[in-house]
Chains A and B, each alone.
Chain A
């Protein structure tokens, strides 16, 4: 039975939710606003919120100086590639852990998660050397594989949680009707877990898009994604906050829009199984 919610309480909740939402969004909003200011207005103290001469000059400069499309394409290829590759590996892995668990399953899951606790810089040199040996420095392939491996524990964990919610009897029924392993995963399990898979996919895409350690360390020209594009606008001697903000806005815009359109999926997926 639903609890009775008084209008006052509802208003209060709404205000509270908006306040939290705006606080979280404020840095992004500030970056976007700064990108339309001149360098002088960007550092003005007290800061100017809305009433300034809006200019597109920073975007023009950034467009002129950097090949945005190349960075964008690299980001899409790396984030998309690592996500797809990750799902191909993780769906069967999560299936076996959810439906045919062994004694070691719990330990394997914990062990997978423990690899996330190693600071990335600890393996920088070995991975750099492997990339040199394989001729994969500054290549998208290397980053796709590395980012897939980094995010794999999260993907497996998320999918494992979703799969656990699916009754094993349904899969059994499929087996009775003569479905093999391949058919079982492809035609029974996957369609039922679509919301879970979709949110895993989105979250992983966002994580890979924002990854800024390996993408900065293993790329130079050919494979550099948008993280490298933003980094190239930070300056040790000189104030270029407006241009930096324009570059940041251009880098986050695609993922922000994607997140906006798929927020229903994201929320549904993230809370899937949490409330019964």
Chain B
């Protein structure tokens, strides 16, 4: 009898061990990029694994463009290598329409999707269903050196026009001392110089396409936007600007070489970080500029978001992870571990209502205003057949955008004139969009 009981007990114990071993076998493979906020999250995952002892996490960190290519390739072929993806507002609507992403409409109650910033939530939803959870979000704004502006005797209004920006850039430029009035993106790429130029063209009243899908590069708004851009970079910009992307400009600004820098709002937390930035104490902010008479501030909106590919076999565990990483609890966790200044910006209304955050992050209000003002449905004053702010949300855009970016970059490098660049952009975009059957 005793032996039987012992045997039974032993068997139960063994099966229990077996069961728990199976439960712990869930391993989520998360594809991500090497951005500051993502790295911070990787450092804090102990909190998640403590709450979910059955789930282990494996990180695959890739360069942004490689990540996009890898993930597209994996989803398109059903490879199933990843359970959680880090993607942006460009991919989400396109991939959701292809049924590549798992809808996130049944997130746990404490996720509180109503707290998400409306602009971000809209950008990550298709027909009202959320397909990706925002991890951090950004718009674009003007960052400028308050000390240099004062020295040069210029004031940059809170809502500057491009005329204000050009005047300020001229006044602040001091090439002998390597101070350049304005730093802007010049490196070719749909997510590099074209993100900026598309937003700039929006703010000049232009758009990529009219309602008949006809490319608009030869329209007046694009022509004046591009010629103003080239004029500013030539006269007030740093040398070699055709190679400058976000990181290069960040480096220039942190070393005090730029009077103004118009770029993603997330840069504000870097340039005000006293550890890396020599100008941390003297940064002012203003809204993305517009052209006089055009009620449009570029409509730049981006959110690095977490989504689940339809090919994942561990969707429940993946949802649990996403809910942890993008929930309100995570923001509080970051605040308690590393201070409010490090909380991932631009996703939740509650963060911007938090007095402690407002105090710790001087750029909070401007970021929120910029994000709330961004309209990715009516990104231009023209009527357009597409959505997206600093990009066009069609699958072909990554290719076309990069080719047009190369034309603009060549013009900035002095290899061709603005007219030539625009004519080439017009021709290649027309070809591609016709071939794609729009």
> What is the interface of chain A, defined by CB distance below 8 A to chain B?
39-40, 43-45, 65, 124-125, 128-129, 132, 137-138, 216-217, 220-221, 224, 228, 231-240
Contact = CB atoms under 8 A, between A and B. Distances in A.
11 contacts: A45-B257, A124-B73, A128-B79, A216-B70, A220-B31, A228-B60, A233-B61, A234-B63, A235-B33, A237-B267, A238-B36
A220 B82 contact: yes
Given A45-B255, A45-B257, A236-B35, A132 B77 contact: yes
A231 B63 contact: yes
Q: Is the interface of B mostly helix, strand, loop or mixed?
A: mixed
**Interface magnitude class on chain B:** 35 or more
Contact of B73 (A45, A128, A221, A228): A128
B48 interface: no
B36 A221 contact: no
Interface string B19-33: 000000000010101
A239 B275 CA distance: 12
Name, among B34, B66, B82, B251, the residue most crowded by chain A CB atoms within 10 Å (CB to CB). B34
B58 interface: yes
Given A132-B78, A220-B82, A237-B246, A43 B61 contact: no
A125 B73 CA distance: 8
Contacts of B286: none
A237 B81 contact: no
Interface string B197-223: 000000000000000000000000000
Given A65-B39, A128-B79, A137-B81, A237 B276 contact: no
Where chain A touches its partner, the secondary structure class is loop
B64 A236 contact: yes
Nearest to A224: B60
A155 B82 CA distance: 36
A125 B60 contact: no
B29 A233 contact: no
B282 to A, nearest CB: 17
Interface of B: 29, 31, 33-36, 39, 42-43, 58, 60-64, 66, 70, 73, 77-79, 81-82, 191, 246-247, 250-251, 254-255, 257, 264, 266-267, 270, 275-276
Contacts of A43: 251, 254-255
Given A39-B276, A43-B254, A65-B39, A220 B33 contact: no
Contacts of B60: 220-221, 224, 228, 232
A216 B173 CA distance: 43
B257 to A, nearest CB: 7
B268 to A, nearest CB: 12
Nearest to A221: B58
Contact of A238 (B29, B79, B270, B275): B270
Residue of A138, A228, A232, A236 ringed by the most chain B CB atoms within 10 A: A236
A240 B34 contact: yes
A236 B33 contact: yes
Contacts of B257: 45
Given A43-B254, A237-B266, A217 B70 contact: yes
Given A137-B81, A238-B34, A239-B276, A231 B29 contact: no
Given A43-B254, A220-B58, 7 more contacts: A125-B77, A216-B62, A216-B66, A220-B29, A220-B60, A235-B35, A236-B33
A109 to B, nearest CB: 34
Nearest to A124: B73
B63 A237 contact: no
A217 B77 CA distance: 13
Nearest to A243: B34
A128 B255 contact: no
